[in-house]
Structure 1
Amino acid sequence: MLHDTCNGQAYFLTPPGTARNWQQDGTQALGPGSWVVLAPPGWRGLLRWLHDPTGGPPHTRTDDLARSLATAVGTGEDTEGCHTAEIRYAGPSPLGESGYRTGLEWNTDGLARARAAEIITEHRAGQTEVVRGAHLLFDWAAHAVRSPDLLRVVQETIGGSVAVENTFLMIKWPGRDFPVPWHQDGTNPRMQLDPELSVAAWLALTDATSINGCLQVIPGSHAAGYLDYGREESDARRGKALGIQGMPDGPHSQGVWLPLDAGQACLMDVRLLHRSDSNMTVGARVGLNIRYVAPGAIRLSGPHSPSLYPLTGSDW
């Protein structure tokens, strides 16, 4: 079962012959192997595969499904402002059933806080919120992505050859409106990351709590694969973030907060749904987001050339 949020429809695939007595209103047969079911009015939830894609009866092939969905909506093009995943990559995670691992250490508490204090001093006047490519701009970030304890776990997850695809330094200033919508780190208009060959890391330079904007994740949400997304409606100077289509803003009933102490880190499957709130405390919250990749992880969308920052291995 998948949800096409661009067109407000849910797709329920069944093997040939099993839908012979299907009597649900608002359904349309696409062919001998699948049916389309319209989503109930007002439905805004998250649908997943009814069965584990790695077990049980075989599912419809990805390319067959794509053609069927195009037939269902009458066009092969995306709705304006909405991006449809080229490959869903539904299935299990190298990080286990939850899709994340937390409580890792990338630095000592004291050194992380000291670095955060310097960052806050440097960026306070301009109220900088996002710095892209931090590992290419700051020596401390170039060292952070190579943290031995963190890098060891990354290699255990995606293999011995590791590079950085991108980093984001994020500063949530106290009382400033800066919520981040539900999103997935491994997909954007220029690329998709293979979840078997990539992983996202979030490093805390200050304490991260549910009050100052720590991550909230939906455990297991990676199993649904990449979901359709679009740009948020915002005029913030930091730009418009990508958000999952059809997911309401704010905490989710199945969401889990991931508080971290300064110097700690978490790893996430690049398909894992996560978000964060604005900072409602009196001090700044500082974090560094990293996307690690192994050779062959990047599927490009268009004439883009990835600028990788190799850390280990010789396959680059």
Structure 2
Amino acid sequence: MPDLSISRINVVVDLIGIPFFLILVYVTIKHKKLQGTCHKLIGIYAACCILSKIQILPPFIIMITKIDVPLWLCALIDILPIAGSFNIYSLMLVIAIDRILSIFFPIWYSSRGDSFHFPFMYGISSLFPLTFIIFVIITTIQDPMHQNFCFLSDLITLKGEENFHVACLVFNWTTVACYILLILKVFWEGKKGKLSTIKMALFKSLFLIMGIQIGGWIFSSIGFYLVDKGFIKIFNEGNNDLIGISINCISSLSSTFEVPAVFLSSSEHRKALKKTLGYETSSVYQMTVQNKISPTKNPVMVQPATPENVQKS
């Protein structure tokens, strides 16, 4: 199968996930109940997923038009989408560390304030994409008019691409280790009855999200490794292309499934989505308020304002 056809399929599958993540970002921004540190980090994670899904567009457009562009223009167009895709890995690790601190050191969860902890946690996660941006600037300054196809290796050299991929592997495996510790701790506290319902719901949603993300990453990594190293030799070149497309599609769709997983596992996200879609109307709210008012033994009778009542007062 030609490279252009493969790229078209990859682009279409990636674009499917953009509306899902846009909904998650919009709901997070709009509703006050989703303004906590962890919820904000998940919202930024969704925004980074959008950037990661559009980063394939510049190389795809260049491939269709069959033109070369100067390196400075390529860097200007693609630097933020690729930086956002790299930020996914550091955000996954930071969210896992935040959960580790919350469950092993409860004072972290109870004493943290969003005015400090959110900028602090996200600031740490942004160091990785900022490093990428610095590398791109250095490479671009050396030869800004170099004609290229906007591939990652054009922006940070082949050696730089390899180093960043190794860093992503380190982030992923460290995140896996953190969630293994969390699972053991949650199981231990749940067995002793020390885990609150709120914390359990939050951990469940995070386990589901990161489980899908890490599972998709592990699947794609193993799949591409087997194909690249030639372990799958019973297929011809055309079938190997189909295998590569399948791996890409499954990996991309697995990240898209994270959004429904968030709304299914998190009651706060689910309620916020219902409000956004208009399922919780003002009449429902009034009925809820009225049901919460219990009648007293001596109810206060409020008389309408008539001329006789005004004269008596």
TM-score normalised over the length of structure 1: 0.20
Higher helix share: 2
Higher strand share: 1
| Higher RCO (C-alpha 8 Å, min separation 6) | 1
